[in-house]
């Protein structure tokens, strides 16, 4: 309580309102599965569009396992999720390498022997990394200028002689570690150009900061280092930068470029810094798909080695001769942009082998190789936002005897994950090419209040192959869940909704077939003439009739999690009547808003819900052990799954 120790006026703030509970989001999904590129460990990144997925995980191009191409089910599911109305998605990419191969595409500039060769490697494993990488050199304007030693003496403008006693050489627009080409073009000193690294130092003779130019070749007669004061007025100093362009990682993606790159390892825009193996920022790790390393420590040497890879070498001798001819004003051969570029193809990137159930389950981050980074389904455990979980494509090729046990295990892992995390629902795919009798047998193995099964697969026009393909339902269903939540509310059953991307289904079911499947909790896709391709089922795979419907399970998860998050303030408060009343009021206000929004059954609030938190819900033992027990009851709306109209004949004089 406040202390009042001296006479005076004390102004204090107090609250006359109960705490409020804000409803949580229920439309965020999490997908786990193989992709063409991207991280395989660590916290998944939030995606808000399919373009986000492409930038990080590659496009929809097919995967290759054991020289056999398979559809990229995860990428198709992500596309379907956003097309069907999804807004937020987390993706956990899984990868199983083949034998001892690393799986990352890689290449080396030059002959791979020189100590200044660059090692170029795709940051993540996958065949998507087998693309060309182009290096293009850019030479800026001459940045060498001269200013008076005495700023007040501006009359000395004659630079035709060699006496610089009244002038200072200055480089404009450079920083420590930049790499330049410098040529002393003078008829009395016809010395060829060279590549230098700039090193800033304090010039004691001039009492100012200046630059040294450290040579890349170390064999000129003047020594390995030049100072600005030693340069002739006619010398040219041109800054060298590089543009790196990486070809697209997917069919519909654009090539990516990085401009103004330089070479010295300590420079912030150096190749080895921008494409560092362990970057400083998370964005760099996600969006820079390459790792570039070299044993060389001098930027000038690296630049010269890379220049020797271009086709400009040999136009008039060495690359230095070519540049000297070009910039001297006595052009013999002017190298084009193409001549000052070269390309190298990354190879040996692999999609590995089809992931097993262990890969889907993921690592817990406890081993020395994981370095605290989780993977697979376990990487979703630390993300509270997710409420929908799926593993698109895990049941593909189910008839294969090697795939069936893996698919069954993955399905159980999804269910186990959602039951453990409490507030999540697993969207389960039926197997491909299953008949009605087979999907009934498959459903008979499962029972959970936190999962729903969908059948059959959805047919779309594949934008990659321009052919019709069948895709697992989970991507479409997750998007429909999200669309239903945003447009109507989580209390409504996610059914009687159009499947926007569908052009057909793997099997067209009739009413008789659904009469068999629906009571067993198998949600069906149906085609209705004049209405299109619809999702026509909203049941869980639970044998408990209280949790028969998906909407019931998801709405209760919404209520429970909202109340859980909205009452955290009550922890460690004095456990007495004042706290009990505040908790009752807080929860009652939240449920009243739910009732007013039409999400609870009943004409009056007391018919829709009740909240008890008093001596009737707690005994002395609870109080002694610091427990506050609140009993909440809600009358939720069930979906009108069977709409029945009873019609009979009556005559005009019959009383109604």
pLDDT, mean of residues 621-627: 94
What's the whole-number mean pLDDT along residues 634-655?
Answer: 80
- pTM exceeds cut of 0.85: yes
Give the pairing type, strands 458-461 and 468-471.
antiparallel
pLDDT band of 651, cuts 50, 70, 90: confident
Could you report the per-residue pLDDT of 146-200, keeping only the tens digit for each?
777 665 555 544 444 445 456 678 888 899 999 998 886 554 444 567 888 998 8
Q: Which residue in this structure is represented by tokens 């330049």?
A: 180
Residue 456, preceding peptide bond in cis (omega within 30° of 0): yes
Identify the pLDDT of residue 150: 62
The distance in angstroms from the start CA to the end CA of the chain is 70
CB atoms within 10 A of CB 157: 8
Q: What is the DSSP letter of 575?
A: -
Q: Please provide the average confidence, as pLDDT, over all residues in the chain.
A: 88
Task: Give tens-digit pLDDT for 580-596.
Answer: 999 999 999 999 999 99
Q: Cβ distance 546 to 555 under 8 Å?
A: no
Check: CB of residue 334 under 8 Å from CB of residue 326. yes
pLDDT of residue 333: 58
pLDDT of the residue at 479: 97
600, 608 Cβ separation under 8 angstroms = yes
pLDDT of residue 434: 94
pLDDT-based confidence at 88, cuts 50/70/90?
very high
Predicted confidence at residue 185, as pLDDT, reads 52
Q: How many CA atoms does the CB half-sphere of 199 hold within 13 Å?
A: 17
* Segments of 149-235 assigned E as strands: 167-171, 179-184, 191-203, 208-215, 225-227
| CA proximity to 429, closest of 400, 402, 463, 458 | 458
Mean pLDDT of 250-254: 83
CB 137 within 8 A of CB 310: yes
pLDDT recorded at residue 366: 75
DSSP string, 443-484: HTT--BTTEEEEESPEEEE-TTTSSEEEE-THHHHHHHHHHH
Question: Quick one: tokens of 343?
Answer: 């390309």
- H helical segments located in 84-126: none
Read off the pLDDT of residues 63-76 as tens digits, 9 standing for 90 and up: 999 888 999 999 99
Closest CA to 546 of 452, 631, 612, 638: 638
CATH architecture of 28-100+352-552: 3-Layer(aba) Sandwich (3.40)
Confidence of residue 99 (pLDDT cuts 50, 70, 90): confident
More confident residue, 318 or 157: 318
Average pLDDT over residues 212-234: 70
Q: b vs e for 495-532, b when ≥16 Cβ sit within 10 Å of the residue's Cβ? A: bbbebbbbeebbbebeeebbeebbeebbbbbbbeeeee
Buried b (16+ CB within 10 A) or exposed e, 78-115: bbbbbbbbbbbbbbbbbbbeeeeeebbbbbebeeeebe
The alpha carbons of the chain give a radius of gyration, in whole angstroms, of 35
What is the average per-residue pLDDT within 439-456? 96
Task: For residues 275 and 293, give the distance between their C-alpha atoms in angstroms, rounded to a whole number.
Answer: 8
Q: DSSP for 257-326? A: EEEEEB--TTSTTBHHHHT-SS-SSHHHHHH--EEEEES---HHHHHHHHHTTSTTTTSSSSHHHHHHHH
Q: Are 117 and 305 in contact (CB under 8 A)?
A: yes
Residue 535: phi and psi, rounded to 5, are: -85, 125
Distance CA 28, CA 19 (A): 26
Helix (H) or strand (E) holding 420: helix 404-421
Per-domain boundaries in the chain: 28-100+352-552, 106-138+241-345, 139-239, 577-656
Give residue-wise pLDDT tens across range 185-205.
554 444 567 888 998 888 887
Q: Which of 44-48, 140-144, 322-326, 409-413 has the lowest mean pLDDT?
A: 322-326
Amino acid 1: pLDDT:
65
Is residue 101 pLDDT above 90, yes or no?
no
Contact 53, 47 (CB under 8 A): yes
Q: Among 33-47, 90-104, 423-437, 493-507, name the one with the lowest average pLDDT.
A: 90-104
What's the pLDDT score for residue 656? 56
* Model pLDDT for residues 263-280, shown as the tens digit of each residue: 999 999 999 999 999 988
Query: Residue range 600-616: average pLDDT?
Result: 94
- Kindly report the backbone phi and psi dihedral angles of residue 456, in degrees, each rounded to the nearest multiple of 5, phi listed first: -90, -165
Give the side-chain half-sphere CA count within 13 A for 32.
Answer: 35
Find, among 482, 505, 469, 498, the residue nearest to 60 by Cα. 469
Position 332 confidence tier, pLDDT thresholds 50, 70, 90: low
397: left (phi over 0), alpha (psi -120 to 50) or beta: left
Specify the DSSP element, H or E, that contains 89. Answer: strand 88-93
Supply the DSSP string of 629-640, one letter for each residue.
--EEEE-BPPP-
């Amino acid at each position: 309580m406040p202390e009042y120790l001296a006479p005076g006026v004390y102004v204090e703030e107090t609250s006359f309102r109960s705490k409020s509970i804000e409803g949580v989001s229920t439309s965020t999904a999490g997908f786990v599965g193989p992709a063409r590129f991207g991280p395989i460990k660590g916290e998944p990144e939030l995606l808000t569009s399919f373009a986000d997925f492409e930038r990080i995980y590659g496009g929809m191009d097919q995967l290759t396992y054991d020289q056999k191409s398979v559809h990229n089910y995860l990428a198709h599911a992500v596309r379907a999720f956003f097309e069907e109305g999804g807004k937020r998605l987390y993706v956990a990419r899984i990868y199983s390498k083949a034998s001892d191969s690393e799986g990352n595409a890689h290449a080396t500039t030059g002959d791979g022997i020189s100590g200044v060769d660059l090692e170029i490697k795709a940051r993540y494993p996958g065949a998507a990394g087998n693309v060309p990488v182009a290096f293009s050199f850019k030479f800026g304007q001459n940045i060498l200028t001269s200013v008076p030693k005495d700023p007040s003496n501006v009359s000395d403008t004659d630079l035709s002689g060699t006496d610089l006693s009244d002038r200072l050489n200055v480089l404009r627009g450079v920083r420590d570690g930049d790499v330049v080409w410098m040529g002393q073009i003078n008829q009395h000193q016809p010395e060829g150009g060279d590549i230098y690294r700039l090193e800033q130092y304090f010039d004691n003779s001039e009492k100012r900061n200046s630059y040294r130019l450290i040579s890349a070749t170390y064999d000129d007669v003047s020594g390995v280092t030049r100072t600005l004061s030693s340069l002739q007025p006619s010398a040219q100093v041109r800054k060298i930068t590089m543009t790196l362009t990486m070809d697209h990682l997917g069919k519909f993606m654009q090539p990516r470029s990085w401009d103004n790159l330089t070479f010295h390892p300590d420079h912030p825009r150096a190749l080895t810094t921008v494409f560092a193996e362990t970057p400083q920022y998370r964005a760099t790790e996600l969006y820079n798909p390459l790792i570039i390393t070299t044993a060389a420590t001098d930027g000038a040497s690296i630049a010269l080695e890379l220049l020797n890879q271009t086709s400009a070498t040999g136009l008039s001798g060495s690359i230095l001769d070519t540049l000297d001819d070009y910039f001297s004003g006595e052009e013999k051969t002017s190298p084009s942009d193409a001549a000052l570029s070269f390309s190298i193809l990354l190879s040996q990137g692999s999609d590995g082998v089809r992931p097993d159930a262990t890969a889907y389950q993921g690592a817990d981050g406890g081993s020395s190789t994981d370095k605290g980074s989780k993977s697979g389904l376990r990487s979703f455990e630390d993300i509270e936002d997710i409420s929908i979980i799926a593993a698109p494509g895990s049941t593909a090729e189910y008839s294969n005897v090697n795939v069936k046990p893996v698919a069954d295990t993955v399905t159980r892992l999804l269910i186990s994950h959602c039951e453990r995390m409490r507030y999540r629902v697993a969207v389960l795919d039926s197997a491909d090419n299953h008949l009605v009798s087979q999907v009934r047998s498959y459903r008979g193995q499962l029972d959970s209040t936190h999962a729903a099964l969908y059948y059959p697969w959805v047919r779309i026009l594949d934008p990659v192959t321009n052919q019709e393909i069948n895709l697992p339902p989970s991507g479409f269903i997750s998007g429909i869940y999200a669309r239903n939540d945003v447009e109507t509310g989580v209390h409504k059953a996610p059914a009687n909704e159009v499947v926007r991307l569908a052009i057909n289904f793997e099997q067209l079911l009739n009413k008789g077939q659904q009469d068999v499947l629906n009571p067993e909790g198998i949600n069906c896709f149906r085609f209705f003439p004049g209405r299109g391709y619809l999702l026509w089922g909203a049941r869980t795979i639970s044998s408990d009739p209280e949790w028969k419907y998906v909407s019931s399970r998801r709405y209760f998860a919404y209520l429970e999690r909202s109340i859980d998050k909205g009452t955290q303030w009550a922890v460690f408060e004095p456990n007495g009547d004042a706290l009990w009343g505040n908790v009752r009021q807080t929860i009652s206000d939240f449920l009243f808003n739910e009732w007013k929004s039409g999400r609870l059954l009943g004409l009056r609030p007391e018919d829709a819900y009740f909240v008890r938190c008093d001596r009737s819900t707690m005994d002395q033992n609870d109080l002694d052990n610091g427990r506050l027990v609140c009993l909440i009851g809600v009358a939720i709306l069930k979906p009108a799954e069977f709409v029945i109209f009873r019609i009979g004949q009556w005559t005009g004089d019959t009383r109604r």
